[in-house]
């Protein structure tokens, strides 16, 4: 069966072990995790876990059902199209080959900017869809980045 | 009322009306054991191994329909219990396991007898708790029992640090639970049910595929009624033996790897499968692409994750088997006549005549199948049958005339050798009116043989029929069929003296080589009312047949084994 990429958004009760239960499910049943992010939902005792995974239609369906079975899981949303964003931080060395203005322009194209600068290096940030972040990282490679850190995807239903 | 954590544990068990707890003490759980000593509610049975405590509690639950409770200490006490917990998980038994844990301050320090119990058991419990505040203990205990028995049942672990069991706090056992994230659905969607009813009315060769969920939901009377009303024939899984009752004409047989030819052909030729609390296990389906090829599938299951997991389903219904079958029966009652499927039933009957479940009896040596049938003739419906894992288990499932659900207690899902004897103890405690027979093998019985002592001490008379082939028989059979008879590490010719072993532990032993001796041993054992070993020398090379070789199609059964 053909594999599809899916963003699954899980709302969980904030309690000990809950992340282990979710990630353990993926490990134990051999499901794939491309990225996973967690953060608490403001003014509630819930957290939001966003998981990017890949699998056949049957596997994706199983993942959502198995997630539902975890007792502290409140809600599982799986849609083929959600609003999704990812952030990346990239650190560049400062030397005669590097043109800060070019880097600034590049990151502006990806909803970003330069966020930190010192005499030896600068850090730039971009926030965009994952695919576009891929492009951004690729484009930035000509400036010989020292470090690239991606946040993983966060997502929200359109309706 | 202010009481200690240990008292809370005892109170909760008593408030849940559990009358027997199986367990084994140790440092981290000692405060609770001190309260057990002082209280006069439930009785505690000291097994001789934690694995056995969990199996006994498991069988207690399977026979009584109540929640089973097992209690163990931290570290090795808990790890010993894991096999039992996993066994209960796979067969969806409602169980609460209480484990001691090192004091809160020691957690994470590799303290003496510290293991990460919730981490280890996460994937083999329905839910688990590490208690870190005494004020939460009453709620957690209440939730544990509720989660264990509601929805699709399963084991729940409550891991309690030692200092919490000695701390004092206000105790009010909640009347109800409120877990906003856990709401099992029982009723089944009415639109889906209507569609399923229409499909049944259209079908020409419908088949009831009955699984262990039918037993768990106490649906057997409803299922029998539905079958009688409609004339739809039925096949049972290993976990569902007894649901239809042996004498029921509509029961075609057990299906699967060692199911009957007729049952497997019924699956292969049906045009509509009505799955009742079954989960399409690989031992049932055989090769998936050939499984029930001509059938639409109605899948009724309380666990949505079971639906569509293995096969595509045409009519998914999430709900309790009993509730849904009642609804289906109500709406189909006046619309269907059993005559409608007469031809279909005749075809299946014919399959059963052409290739019945059978064996070649002998007068020189006891055939294991004969022994099972004989127990059936001698004790019949008065027996609860437990079993271990291997050939003897399959023969028991094939040849015992089960009359009712909860009469047949076996580790179907995990296939845990060592289950039988402790399960027999739990089964007898749960229903002492019945004669409990553990059908076992000379391999399996040694995996929890220490429980002879428990059975003797508490005067729990269970009969262990050891079908002794001096082999790890089921593995030997595969070696015969698929490994050119290279009997790697399966020969059990070196044997204990079974009679003396039983006697040494306070039981009775019988060495049996003839049919007469077999009858005499069973009768004497029932009369003496003591735990016993009936060591039956059976044909060493008997094979369990028919067989669907692993990965083969259900309709391609090996009906006999020919020497190559
Ligand atoms: C704990 C455990 N270990 C290993 C196995 C694999 N296994 C399945 S059946 C079997 C042989 C059982 O032999 P015995 O109890 O003598 O029964 P028989 O098949 O001879 O009737 C083995 C080793 C198992 N099911 N459980």
10-residue stretch averages of pLDDT, chain B, 564 residues long: 97 97 98 98 98 98 98 98 98 98 97 98 98 98 98 98 98 96 96 98 97 98 98 98 97 98 98 98 95 97 96 97 98 93 98 97 97 98 98 98 98 98 98 98 98 98 98 98 97 98 98 98 98 98 96 94 76
Asked if B126 reaches chain A (Cβ–Cβ under 8 Å), the answer is yes
Residue A2 has pLDDT above 90, yes or no: no
Answer yes or no: do A67 and A92 share one domain. Answer: no
Looking at the CA of residue B447, tell me the nearest atom of ligand 1: 1
Pocket residue to mutate for ligand 1, from B54, B366, B389, B449, most atoms within 8 A of Cβ: B389
- Candidate list B1, B43, B112, B337, residue with the active-site label: B112
**Domains identified in chain A, total number:** 2
**Active-site position among B244, B474, B547, B557:** B474
Task: Give this prediction's pTM.
Answer: 0.97
- Ligand 1 proximity of B420 Cβ (cutoff 6 Å): no
Residue A63's pLDDT band, with cuts at 50, 70 and 90, is very high
CA B202 to the chain's CA centroid: 35
Predicted local confidence at residue A99, as pLDDT = 86
pLDDT-based confidence at residue A61 (cuts at 50, 70, 90): very high
Rounded distance between C-alpha atoms, residue B167 and residue B400, angstroms: 52
Same domain, A74 and A41: yes
* Same domain as A8, residue A76: yes
CB contact under 8 A, B118 and A61: no
In B249-288, at which residue ranges do the beta strands (DSSP E only) sit? 251-254, 272-276
Interface size between A and B, measured as CB pairs under 8 A: 39
B142 belongs to the catalytic site: no
Q: Which strands sit side by side in the sheet containing B127-130, from one edge to the other? A: B43-46, B20-23, B68-72, B95-101, B155-161, B127-130
The residue from A60, A80, A100 where one domain ends is A80
pLDDT of A1 reads 73
**Which chain A residues are closer than 8 Å to B136 by Cβ?**
none
* Nearest CA residue ID for atom 11, ligand 1: B472
- Whether the upstream peptide bond of residue B557 has omega within 30° of 0, thus cis, is no
Structure letter (DSSP) for residue B492: -
Residue B49's contacts (CB-CB under 8 Å, 6 or more residues apart) are B24, B80, B448, B450, B451
Same domain, A95 and A118: yes
Is B112 tagged catalytic? Answer: yes
Q: How far is CA B124 from CA B84, B128, B204, B444, in A?
A: 10, 10, 41, 22
Q: Check if the beta carbon of residue B115 is closer than 8 Å to that of residue B82.
A: no
CATH number of the domain that A108 lies in?
3.30.70.1150
Residue that is last in its domain, among A63, A80, A97: A80
Specify the CATH number for the domain of residue A20: 3.30.70.260
- Within this chain, do residues A76 and A95 fall inside the same structural domain, yes or no? no
For residues A52 and A39, membership in a common domain is answered with yes
Q: Which of A69, A74, A75, A76 to mutate to test the interface with B (most CBs of B within 10 A)?
A: A69
Residue B167: the pLDDT is 98
State ipTM.
0.92
SS3 B411: coil
| Residues A76 and A88 both lie in one domain | no
**Where do we find the tokens 């009652």?**
B333
Query: Quick check: B184 contacting A, CB < 8 Å?
Result: no
Centre of ligand 1 from the C-alpha of residue A86, in Å: 52
CB contact under 8 A, A20 and B303: no
Ligand 1 in reach of B389 Cβ (< 6 A):
yes
Q: Give chain B's domains with CATH numbers.
A: 2-170 (3.40.50.970), 190-354 (3.40.50.1220), 368-537 (3.40.50.970)
Atom of ligand 1 nearest to the CA of B389: 9
pLDDT digits (tens, 9 = 90+) for A96-120: 877 899 999 999 999 999 999 999 9
CA distances from A23 to A27, A37, A66, B306, B424 (A): 6, 11, 12, 20, 38
Same domain, A87 and A147: yes
Å from CA of B505 to ligand 1 middle: 24
Whether A75 and A124 share a structural domain: no
| A90 and A138 fall within a common domain | yes
- Both A10 and A46 in one domain: the answer is yes
> Which pLDDT does position B564 carry in this prediction?
59
pLDDT reported for residue B512: 98
Identify the domain containing residue A115 by its residue range: 83-157
A151 and A139 part of one domain: yes
Lowest mean pLDDT among A41-50, A74-83, A102-111, B114-123: A74-83
Domain end: A64, A80, A96, which one?
A: A80
C-beta atoms of B122 and A73 within 8 A: no
Indicate whether residue B416 lines ligand 1 (CB < 6 A).
yes
B545 lines ligand 1 (CB under 6 A): no
| Averaged pLDDT score across all residues of chain A | 94
């Amino acid at each position: 069966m053909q594999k599809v990429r899916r963003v699954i958004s899980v709302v969980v009760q904030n309690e000990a072990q809950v992340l282990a239960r979710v990630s353990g499910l993926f490990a134990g049943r051999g499901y794939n995790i491309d990225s996973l992010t967690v953060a608490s939902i403001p003014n509630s005792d819930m957290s939001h876990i966003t998981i990017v995974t890949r699998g056949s239609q049957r596997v994706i369906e199983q993942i959502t059902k198995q997630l539902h079975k975890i007792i502290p899981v409140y809600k599982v949303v799986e849609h083929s199209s959600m609003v999704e964003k990812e952030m990346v931080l990239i650190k560049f060395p400062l030397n005669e080959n590097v043109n800060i203005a070019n880097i600034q322009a590049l990151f502006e194209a990806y909803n970003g900017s330069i966020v930190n600068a010192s005499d030896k290096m600068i850090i730039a940030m971009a926030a965009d869809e994952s695919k576009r972040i891929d492009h951004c990282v690729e484009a930035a490679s000509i400036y010989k980045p020292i470090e690239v850190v991606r946040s993983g995807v966060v997502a929200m239903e359109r309706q | 009322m202010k009481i200690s954590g240990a008292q809370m544990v005892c109170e909760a068990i008593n408030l849940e009306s559990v009358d027997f707890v199986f367990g084994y003490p140790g440092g981290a759980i000692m405060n609770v054991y001190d309260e057990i000593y002082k209280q006069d509610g439930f009785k505690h049975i000291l097994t001789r191994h934690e694995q056995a405590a969990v199996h006994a509690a498991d069988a207690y639950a399977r026979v009584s329909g109540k929640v089973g409770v097992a209690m163990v200490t931290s570290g090795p006490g808990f790890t010993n219990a894991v096999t039992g917990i996993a066994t209960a998980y796979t067969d969806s038994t409602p169980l609460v396991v209480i484990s001691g844990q090192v004091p809160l301050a020691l957690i994470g320090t590799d303290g003496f007898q510290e293991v990460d119990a919730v981490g280890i058991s996460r994937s083999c419990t329905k839910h688990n708790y590490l208690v870190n505040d005494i004020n939460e203990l009453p709620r957690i205990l209440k939730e544990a029992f509720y989660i264990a028995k509601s929805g699709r049942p399963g084991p729940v672990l409550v891991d309690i640090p030692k200092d919490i069991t000695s701390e004092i706090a206000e105790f009010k056992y909640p009347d109800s639970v409120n877990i906003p994230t856990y709401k099992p659905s029982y009723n089944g969607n009415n639109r889906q049910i209507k569609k399923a009813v229409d499909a049944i009315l259209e079908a020409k060769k419908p088949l009831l595929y009955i699984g262990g969920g039918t037993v768990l939901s106490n649906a057997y009377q409803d299922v029998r009624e539905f079958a009688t009303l409609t004339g739809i024939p039925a096949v049972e899984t290993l976990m569902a033996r007894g649901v239809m009752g042996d004498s029921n004409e509509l029961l075609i047989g057990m299906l699967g790897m060692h199911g009957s030819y007729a049952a497997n052909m019924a699956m292969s030729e049906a045009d509509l499968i009505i799955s009742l609390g079954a989960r399409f296990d690989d031992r049932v389906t055989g090769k998936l692409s050939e499984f029930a090829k001509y059938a639409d599938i109605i899948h009724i299951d309380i666990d949505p994750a079971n639906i569509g997991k293995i096969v595509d389903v045409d009519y998914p219904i999430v709900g309790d088997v009993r509730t849904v079958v009642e609804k289906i029966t109500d709406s189909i009652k006046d619309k269907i006549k059993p005559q409608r499927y007469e031809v279909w039933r005749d075809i299946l009957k014919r399959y059963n005549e052409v290739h019945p479940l059978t064996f070649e009896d002998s007068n020189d040596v006891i055939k294991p199948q004969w022994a099972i049938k004989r127990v059936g003739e001698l004790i019949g419906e008065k027996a609860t049958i437990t079993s271990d894992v291997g050939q003897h288990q399959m023969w028991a499932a094939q040849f015992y005339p089960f009359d009712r659900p909860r009469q047949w207690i076996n580790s179907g899902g995990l296939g845990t050798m060592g289950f039988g004897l402790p399960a027999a103890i739990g089964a007898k405690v749960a229903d002492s009116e019945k004669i409990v027979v553990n059908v076992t093998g000379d391999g399996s019985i040694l995996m929890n043989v220490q429980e002879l002592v428990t059975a003797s001490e508490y005067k729990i008379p269970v009969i262990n029929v050891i079908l002794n082939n001096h082999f790890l028989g089921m593995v030997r059979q595969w070696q015969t069929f698929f490994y050119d008879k290279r009997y790697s590490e399966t020969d059990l010719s070196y044997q204990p003296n079974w009679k003396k072993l039983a006697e040494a532990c306070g039981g009775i032993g019988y060495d049996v080589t003839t049919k007469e001796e077999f009858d005499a041993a069973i009768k004497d054992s029932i009369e003496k009312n003591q735990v016993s070993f009936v060591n039956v020398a059976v044909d060493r090379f008997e094979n369990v047949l028919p067989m669907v070789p692993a990965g083969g199609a259900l309709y391609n059964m090996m009906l006999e084994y020919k020497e190559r």
